[in-house]
Amino acid sequence: MKTQSMLLAALASAPAALAHTVFTDFMIDGMPQGDGVAIRMNPNAAKASSPVPSLDSDDMACNVGGTKGVSRVQPAKDGSLITFEIRSWPNDPTKERLDRGHVGPCAVYLKKVSDASTDTAAGDGWFKIFDHGYDSSTDRWCTDEIIDNNGLLSVNLPKGLEGGDYLARPEILALHAAKDGDPQFYTGCAQIFVESSGNLVPESTVSIPGYVKYNEPSTDFDIYNKDAKDYVIPGPKVAKLTAGGMKKASTVQTAGLKPEGCIMENANWCGKEVSSYSTEKGCWASATECWDQADVCYDEAPATGNAGCKLWQEKCKDINAQCTAMNFNGPPNKGKILTPEKKSIDVGKIMAVNGGGIVDAPAPKTSSTKQYEAPAKASPKPAADKATPAAPKPTVDESYESPPIVEQPVAAAPKPTQQPTTLSKAPVSTITVAPSSANAPAPTQPSCPEGYKCVYVTDVEVVTETVYVTATYDGYKRRHIMYRA
């Protein structure tokens, strides 16, 4: 007993977190919604990238703390492409997305809710729209696909879904410690509003938690001694959809929109213009208004950071400077939107169209080394500024009819002629584009198609790396403004 408690104490004092991962943000049709915007994330920034602590807890639905929603709900179109982003360092997309030692399947679930910002998420109502495990033809797991796609997991919403609020839940299961009773689930939820006049609903749903348990073939699989091609993905099959929902002419989002007058965003926080002033007293009062909002911004900043708060702080400093210079006519740049403009990005490989599995899109041969460009939200001048949008914004081809959704994922793969234009328009790379960290090709490998760079990963290596995650304000010190009466 003593030994055990000593061990526990040692564990408790061990360095904070391993390099796991977390869903930090998402894109709709390639457009970044902003770090932490409309995303349910573990509110404990120091543990944000940890796997869900227990498969039996409500944390399985939308991650730790995920029974509580955030204020924003982002509009998506019928059949929109939703791209989830993972990061090992939640506030730094330039770093590793997921340690290569994490191998396993991934999936995306949806739940129709009446209010995505208040729904408690846990419980029945979830249905799967995509999953992918191991592909023996390429010897790659879903995690390999995500890692090699810059941490992006893209799936199309099934076309014709009943419109309204949904929680969209990506899931990664890392199996490296599954045989030791530690299947590591990574999840989170995006709060979306689907603008659709469709009436498709799932034929059946499952409860989360409950849909997967410990000591099942999917969660205690020994990746080191078993053949990966025998692996069975956890949870239900991709849901069959059936007509049966409320057919409405058109659904209009009424809640969760960006608040009026939001001139600066940091995750779900919004800065609003301060009161106009023309006197010394008014100037300092408005400065206080500004700093008070900054306080809230920093307090509410999720693990993705406080870049927006820092920009907001500059505004407050400008007001201070005005007051000090006895220029009592402001605020400066009144009403100017300070949120850096969001630009659509190339999301790379589209993982699934209506549950069809990884889509081998015909990549244009010229697009071989398209590198992901970080949204650079913290900087007012994104690196991609000069260019016309890096990727043509994927558009939904109205003539495309989604293939019938059937239980067998292979059968659901759309025929080449039926592929939606999202696949052919965007410069999608199917074959791995070598990231700088890629391993050298192993000696005996299948040949690489002409015009592509191929990277073969044959060894699964568990790398345990210790990193320190801190939730400090990063240089920010609370500013107390002397009110000069």
Binding site for Cu ion (CB under 5 A): 20
What span, in angstroms and rounded, lies between the C-alpha atoms of 347 and 127? 24
Nearer to Cu ion, 106 or 129 (CB): 106
What span, in angstroms and rounded, lies between the C-alpha atoms of 103 and 243? 37
We find the least distance from the C-beta atom of residue 177 to Cu ion, in angstroms, to be 8
Nearer to Cu ion, 87 or 111 (CB): 87
We find the least distance from the C-beta atom of residue 376 to Cu ion, in angstroms, to be 27
CB 306 within 8 A of CB 327: no
We find the least distance from the C-beta atom of residue 271 to Cu ion, in angstroms, to be 35
We find the least distance from the C-beta atom of residue 68 to Cu ion, in angstroms, to be 24
Nearer to Cu ion, 40 or 100 (CB): 100
We find the least distance from the C-beta atom of residue 18 to Cu ion, in angstroms, to be 5
Nearer to Cu ion, 20 or 310 (CB): 20
What span, in angstroms and rounded, lies between the C-alpha atoms of 216 and 355? 23
Query: What's the half-sphere exposure (Cβ side, CA atoms, 13 Å) at 359?
Result: 30
Instruction: Locate 64 and state its tokens.
Output: 């730790």
Instruction: Locate 52 and state its tokens.
Output: 């869900």
CB 175 within 8 A of CB 101: no
3-state SS, residue 230: helix
Nearer to Cu ion, 20 or 159 (CB): 20
Amino acid at 163: G
Nearer to Cu ion, 99 or 145 (CB): 99
Peptide bond just before 15 cis, omega within 30 deg: no
Nearer to Cu ion, 187 or 251 (CB): 187
Residue closest to Cu ion when measured from CB atoms: 20
Instruction: Locate 398 and state its tokens.
Output: 């109205």
Closest Cα partner for 32 from 400, 378, 473? 378
We find the least distance from the C-beta atom of residue 51 to Cu ion, in angstroms, to be 6
Dihedral over alpha carbons 189, 193, 198, 203 (to 10 degrees): 20
Closest Cα partner for 201 from 238, 249, 243? 243
We find the least distance from the C-beta atom of residue 19 to Cu ion, in angstroms, to be 7
